[in-house]
Structure 1
Amino acid sequence: MVTPFGHDVPLWEAGEDVKRAANITRYMQWLKREKGLNFQTRDDLWQWSVDHLEDFWASLWEYFHIQASSPYSAVLLERKMPGAKWFSGATLNYAEHVFRNATSSRPALLFRSERHAMVEVSWSELQQKVASIAQSLRAMGVQRGDRVVAYMPNIPETLMAFLACASMGATWSSCSPDFGTNSVIDRFKQIEPKVLFAVDGYQYGGKTFDRRPIIAELQQSLPTLEKTVLVPYLFADAQSAVEDLSNAVTWQELLKQPSEIVFEQVPFDHPLWVLYSSGTTGLPKAIVQGHGGILLEHLKSLTLDMDLKPQDRFFWFTTTGWMM
């Protein structure tokens, strides 16, 4: 449908069958049944969520069955910004919720790139590798609250490294490998990382880009860095590249330690990751987001706004340098 600019006419509206089966409809039915709240439209629900912040977010906590090792004492202590503190007293772990509905009937991850055919990663493989990486990071001295950074593209290894950090309460941050040296240093140097995950290069539009020289520069420019993990992507011989770096190991070395996954219980606002502003006015500004807030926002956004269901597949075209 084509409409004149400025006319308030929807381009598309879901049919009644779609509306009845939508996740947000089920949530509204749950609110009516469990809380006595009867909303006729999505706009009514939205208005309630704005006017009754604490009740809305508490309902999401209950509706999505958030697993917390200790309960919260208050949803929101005080309505002020900055300084709002949500779900005080609660301890949980973001990564634990990623794996709680793992299944053998569907893959956890599908990956394909210019250089690689389609790869399926099962939930069991994902969990095993995340557990091994976390154990290796502990052996490197990484503890809860330490910063681990990645100079990596959107590949399975990046997700595995992030989930390993999240599982142990370390704080994650990433830049895309198309970033130049100074752009990466401007971001990572602010948060004093202990470990760097880095890809040896990438391919885009049929062209290959060797990133090994930049990795060496990053090592020299990040004084708090204690270890680098080199992930092979362009080059098969990762060992020789590691020998040219200081305090570096290959990705495969991290996977040699079989381990059971352990989910460190952290406060609701414990830093999950650090993102950055674009840096158009001075240095990029570091933005910290916590386990609990991101968990609730992901559940709300993906389930209620995007209507994702267990049988669906989700793809978002972006890099590791942007929050999408």
Structure 2
Amino acid sequence: MQPQWVPTERDVADARITDFARYVESETGRAAPDYRSLWQWSVDDPAAFWGALWRYFELGEIAGEVLASAEMPGARWFPGTKLNYVDQIVRQARTDRPAIVHVREDAEPREVSWVDLIEDTAAFARTLRALGVGPGDRVAGYLPNIPEAVVAFLGTAAVGAVWSACGQDYTAKAALDRLGQLEPTVLVTADGYRFGGKTHDKRADIAALRAGLPSLRATVAVSQLDLPVEDATPWSDAVRDTDNAAALIETEPVDFDHPLWIVFSSGTTGLPKGIVHGHGGVVLEHLKAIALQSDIGSEDTFFWYTSPSWMMWNFQVGGLLVGATVVCYDGSPTYPTPDALWHIAATVHASVLGASPGYVLACIKAGSVPRADHDLSALRTVGITGSALPPSSALWLSENVGEHVQVSSISGGTDVVSAFIGGVRTVPVWPGELSAPYLGVALDSFDPTGAPVRGEVGELVVTRPMPSMPVRFWRDEDGKRYHDAYFDTYPGVWRHGDWITITERGSIIVHGRSDSTLNRHGIRMGSADIYQAVEQLPEIAEALVIGAEQPDGGYWMPLFVVPAPGVELTDELRARIAATIRTEVSPRHVPDEILLAPGIPHTRTGKKLEVPIKKLFQGADPSRVVERSAVDNPDLLDWYATIRPKTT
């Protein structure tokens, strides 16, 4: 296989990671002639690497040790060292470029200057202090992806309080399942949002949410639809300069592991887990991932399609740490046309655009040709996450967006609010593969006995600690839930729950979640391999494959498909789907049945509900197998609960 993108000599010379390698050599005398050698050093000596990273980005004085304990779980990073995330943002202030560009479906883009960002953040921090909010208190957001959400987060972090947010596509119940655990003191919300050409009045959900949060001292409401929110402080009042000191942000110096934000797991089984991340771990991880891995800097415009419910929102805000302009878009990715994101990228001159494999596939099926229809001359990288990107989609991006554009698939998660694996500006890209593990990520692939494997499917593990691993889970005082989530399979080693293959060239193929593995006749396969084959067919809009062990020892593997509009699931189409899986994936993994489905249920961050549906098919109680408020279309669960295998 040939790479689809190869860095030029200029790419390598100008890359920020090349500059960092030179810094490491000047500081330590250790040469790193290529990415692989730099990565190896970063995982062999994590204290040296993360300490060098801290100094390279000039984050201030290190009070003592970098890594006081490398035990997992329980690693102790930078004890005694203090900082505040917001200080690193303020350092980037400038007047020649905006901090944020806000894009809406119904209006021209609006620029937010660095001066306005900092003044509003300072004013909101003073509003919080006036309400008695201080270090450790929680501030909750129920907001679309708008600049005010960024300001509210930064103001919260400045006073040492803890931010947590949900997008307004969540119902009040789904938001309460998350934010209600935190007993927040202040709620920041908006009257509603626009999506797909429609307005969504959220005032009833806001009222229900407030009723379920007795700890609230105040609600602050942003006007998006010009609708009054009863008994709420208008956003304009919360960021009003009342003492002529708006430009001065008084930040609270906090410990390295002081909570910055709480992000939530998908919550498909039981209440979502609140994952706590600290100021220091996020600052270091995001500077590394954004500046070194993604090569985003102060001249870039960084646009990732996301929402405040998803950790990619937190990641994109991190673009401000390097002085980049970030783009907040709160509309549909396919409105008014399927290529809406490409249009926005052209309008804002994005240098980095982030999307999902599903969006790319939708553009393919719509016949979009972004390079012909939009001026993408500023675009350097297309980032992809959410699920595995098929080789065919990766090649489509090269052919229809531009051969010069790097396709950077990344894989990580809410757990570390970053990526373990992804693209690097100095490493080639192979279709359907992620180029390399990130610096500081001691990535490996284990078999069930804990032995490393290469060239075959294994469990994604991390064998050394990272500063952005969770500080703890919320309401997990003894740490048991945290331990059981990552460390109960391989003691002292983080098991992430993904199937991967590490290739002979060091790239990585992601096969999907290991807890939803297809295990036909002892041969394991990730569901992503099936989706890549089936969903490329123009007649298929989406698919869901389940492998369910049966009580009599049998194994039932159905494939549910949602045909494209106007397409009928005929026997001929079923035969073609089976033939596609047989020839492109594996003859051992041709499904037992191919069933017409009314839709595919997802988490609210877009992941298919494989494990809960599998449990339904194994006879689990539908009321216990999944929390309906965590599902994008919960009514679909009732349909899947009626499905049973014809044979076992």
CA distance in 1, matches of 2:60, 2:145: 28
Q: By how many angstroms is 1:96 displaced?
A: 0.6
Confirm or deny: 8 A CA contact 1:153 1:320 kept in the other structure: yes
Say yes or no: does 1:315 pair with 2:308.
no
CA–CA distance in structure 2, aligned partners of residues 33 and 87 of structure 1: 23
- One-letter amino acid of the structure 2 residue matched with residue 316 of structure 1: W
Code of the residue aligned with 2:238 in structure 1: it is L
Q: Secondary structure, in 3 states, of the residue corresponding to 2:220? A: strand
Q: How do residues 182-261 of structure 1 correspond to structure 2 at under 5 angstroms?
A: 182-235=173-226, 237-238=227-228, 241-242=229-230, 245=231, 248-256=232-240, 257-258=242-243, 259=245, 260-261=248-249
Question: Is 2:107 the partner of 1:105?
Answer: no
- The alignment partner of 1:39 has SS state of coil
Deviation at 1:200, TM superposition (A): 0.5
Q: Out of 36, 43, 48, which is 2:29 matched to?
A: 36
Task: For residue 121 of structure 1, report the CA deviation from its aligned partner.
Answer: 1.0
Query: Are residues 1:306 and 2:290 paired?
Result: no
CA–CA separation in structure 2 for the residues paired with 1:205 and 1:95 = 34
Counterpart secondary structure, 2:221? strand
> What is the DSSP-based 3-state SS (H/G/I as helix, E as strand, rest coil) of the residue aligned with 1:88?
coil
Residue 45 of structure 1, aligned match among 33, 38, 44: 38
Which residue matches 2:7?
14
Kindly state the Cα deviation for residue 115 of structure 1 after the two structures are TM-superposed.
Answer: 2.9
Deviation at residue 181 of structure 1 after TM alignment: 1.3
Per-residue deviation, 1:160? 0.6
Deviation at 1:194, TM superposition (A): 0.4
The answer to whether the aligner puts 1:164 opposite 2:152 as a matched pair is no
Distance in 2 (alpha carbons) for counterparts of 1:285 and 1:18 = 41
Deviations 1:187-213 (A, max 9, x none): 011111000001100110001111000
Q: What per-residue deviation string (whole Å, max 9, x for no partner) do you get for residues 181-236 of structure 1?
A: 1110000111110000011001100011110001100111112111111111012x
Amino acid corresponding to residue 125 of structure 1 in structure 2: D
Asked whether the equivalents of residues 171 and 274 of structure 1 are also in contact (C-alpha less than 8 Å), the reply is yes
Aligned residues of 1:269 and 1:293 also touching (Cα < 8 A): yes
- For the residue of structure 1 that corresponds to 2:311, the secondary structure is coil
Counterparts of 1:47-62 in structure 2, within 5 Å, are 47-62=40-55
Match of 2:262 among 270, 274, 296: 274
Task: Work out whether 1:137 is the aligned partner of 2:128.
Answer: yes
| Greater mean deviation of Cα atoms: 78-87 or 281-290 | 78-87
How far apart, CA to CA, are the structure 1 residues paired with 2:65 and 2:113?
Answer: 38
Partner SS state of residue 304, structure 2: coil
Moved more, 170-179 or 81-90: 81-90
Aligned match of 1:4 = none
Given that residues 189 and 222 in structure 1 are in contact (C-alpha distance below 8 angstroms), is that contact kept between their aligned partners in structure 2?
A: yes
Q: How far 1:250 moved relative to its partner?
A: 1.0
Match among 276, 295, 315 for residue 288 of structure 1: 276
Deviation at 1:112, TM superposition (A): 1.2
SS of the equivalent of 1:198 reads strand
TM-superposed deviation, 1:255: 2.1
Specify the code of the residue in structure 2 equivalent to 1:86: W
3-state SS, counterpart of residue 298 of structure 2: coil
Instruction: Identify unmatched segments of 5+ residues in structure 2.
Output: 313-648
| CA distance in structure 1 between the aligned counterparts of 2:311 and 2:163, rounded to whole angstroms | 13
Aligned length: 308
Unaligned runs of 5+ in 1: 1-6
Could you tell me which amino acid in structure 1 is paired with residue 250 of structure 2? V
Deviations along 1:131-154, one digit per CA (max 9) or x if unpaired, are 111111111111111100000011
Moved over 4 A (4+): none
Question: Normalized against structure 2, the TM-score is what?
Answer: 0.47
Answer 1 or 2: which has greater helix percent. Answer: 1
The higher radius of gyration belongs to 2
Asked if the contact 1:67/1:97 (under 8 Å) is kept, the reply is no
Q: Aligned partners of 1:77 and 1:309: how far apart in 2?
A: 31
SS across alignment from 2:272 = coil
Partners of 1:82 and 1:173 lie apart in 2 by 24
Q: Which of 60, 66, 85 is equivalent to 1:67?
A: 60
Asked which structure has the greater RCO (Cα within 8 Å, sep 6+), the reply is 1
Q: Which residue of 1 aligns with 2:606?
A: none
Bigger strand share = 2
What is the DSSP-based 3-state SS (H/G/I as helix, E as strand, rest coil) of the residue aligned with 1:190?
coil
Q: Which amino acid aligns with 2:53?
A: L
Q: How much identity, in percent, do the aligned residues show?
A: 45
* Separation in structure 2 between the aligned mates of residue 313 and residue 284 of structure 1, nearest angstrom: 33
User: How far, CA to CA, are the matches of 1:67 and 1:122 in structure 2?
Assistant: 26
Distance 1:163 1:50 in 2: 31
Quick one: distance in 2 between partners of 1:23 and 1:85?
Answer: 28
SS in 2 for 1:112: strand
